[in-house]
Amino acid sequence: MKELSIHLRPWKIENAPNLAAAINNKKVPDNLRDGIPFPYTEKDAAEFINATLAAEKDSQYSFAILFDGQVIGSIGVFRKENVHRLTAEMGYYINELYWGKGIMTEAVKQMCAYVFANTDIVRIFAEPYAHNDASCRVLEKAGFSFEGMLRQNAIKNGLSVDMKMYSLLRTDAKLAKALTAETTELIPFLSYLLQDLWELGSNPRDIITLIKRHISLSQDTKFLDLACGKGAVSVNITKELGVTVHGFDLLPDFIGYAKQKAAEWGVADLCRFAVADANEIVNAEKEYDGVIFGAVGDVLGNPKETLQKLYQTIKPGGYIIMDATYLYNDKNVDSLAWEYEYLHRADWFRLFEELKIRLIEELPDEEGHDFEGEMRVITARANELIAKYPEKRALFEGYLKTQQCEVDDLENALSEGTWILQRI
């Protein structure tokens, strides 16, 4: 909620009075694990803050929640051990005066974004008591998936109580961002919203043109299509060029559709599709003649990290085919409506030189993109979802807004095309 001034920061010992004020209310510890004193004094708060500050690095990530500059609560993510070392549990609470204002949802989103950006943790989970409807709604609005009911999982205040298991995966956050969604809460609806579109970004015809011009093909030629969406590029390449393409994407519905299209086009024997994270695939799939990476933003990291990861999937002398999207010389990232690390063309060329990558050709997008048509069909599907789930109107309208922001950037601040690059 951008209108609310909410942020997280490490604890300071002078925050003890605010922490005590937040938790010295029986309604708060009644919804937390046992072991929290009640009444809760400033001395208790100071001991908690000191313990947090002294905790082993990378074992926990604990922050104060600030609203309009004032500490109003606490949030933490705690790493598990042994085989669960890449999993962490989240806990949180805020002063009752601030309940029901959307503050906790925003704090959870910020915390998850921080953990996924700064650690190797791949799964964050939370286990609210089943009767704590407000906490369950916070997690659902923050994009967590309900995994199941943990029956009689705890004894709280002398009663056996159920708990609910919610989780958020690193791959959920990547998938949402790759498809211009501001929150993972949209993930279950993305297939519906995009059901009328097969080509999700890259133009298969431009990619085929570049391959024909610059790559010697044989029956053994093999391409990797990362974040392949519904397989439009893979299927078209295979159909026209008779080469093998392996496509990977995070969304199972997209992969199912890609397999269906490959079968319809008679190329299922040459197209292999699977659900997988591109960041894992770049470490597992090697020795390709070429890798295709189109219109999926920073799924692999910043521009330099993206090039490095693509580089390692291809043979010496192999090819990278990717979107040539960069800022016009008179524009900068501050002029963009959609937050993303776009570079100027000269910055890309410096990266190519640094990483020993040669630009073979840049093919401008002369065919043009039917943004208006795409927005029209997506808007129609969003309106259908609003009619079915009126309580989620803000979610679907927010998605349309971010889609339009991306379109505005592409039309007004960015040059579009396709690059074919070669590993030197």
pLDDT band for position 354 (cuts 50, 70, 90): very high
Which of 27-36, 42-51, 216-225, 330-339 shows the lowest mean pLDDT across its residues? 330-339
- CATH class, 204-371+403-423 region: alpha beta
pLDDT band for position 366 (cuts 50, 70, 90): low
Q: Are strands 417-423 and 314-323 parallel, antiparallel or unpaired?
A: antiparallel
Cα–Cα nearest to 298, from 395, 179, 200, 186: 179
With beta carbons less than 8 A apart as the criterion, state whether 247 and 225 touch: yes
Q: Could you give the 3-state DSSP secondary structure of residue 270?
A: coil
Q: Which two tokens mark 400?
A: 């349309």
Q: Which two tokens mark 69?
A: 């500059």
pLDDT digits (tens, 9 = 90+) for 7-66: 999 999 999 999 999 988 888 888 888 888 889 999 999 999 999 998 888 899 999 999
Apex CA 248: angle with CA 247 and CA 251, to 5°? 130
Q: Rounded mean pLDDT of 213-228?
A: 95
Specify whether domain 6-176 bears CATH 3.40.630.30: yes
Please check the confidence at residue 402 and state whether its pLDDT lies above 90: no
**Cα torsion at 25, 31, 35, 41 (round to 10°)?**
-20
Please check the confidence at residue 424 and state whether its pLDDT lies above 90: no
Where exactly are the structural domains of the chain?
6-176, 204-371+403-423
Cα–Cα nearest to 293, from 310, 276, 308, 279: 310
Question: What does residue 221 show for φ and ψ, rounded to 5 degrees?
Answer: -65, 135
Q: Does residue 252 have a cis peptide bond before it, meaning omega lies within 30 degrees of 0?
A: no
Give the separation between CA 230 and CA 236, rounded to whole angstroms: 12
Please check the confidence at residue 359 and state whether its pLDDT lies above 50: yes
Please check the confidence at residue 1 and state whether its pLDDT lies above 50: no
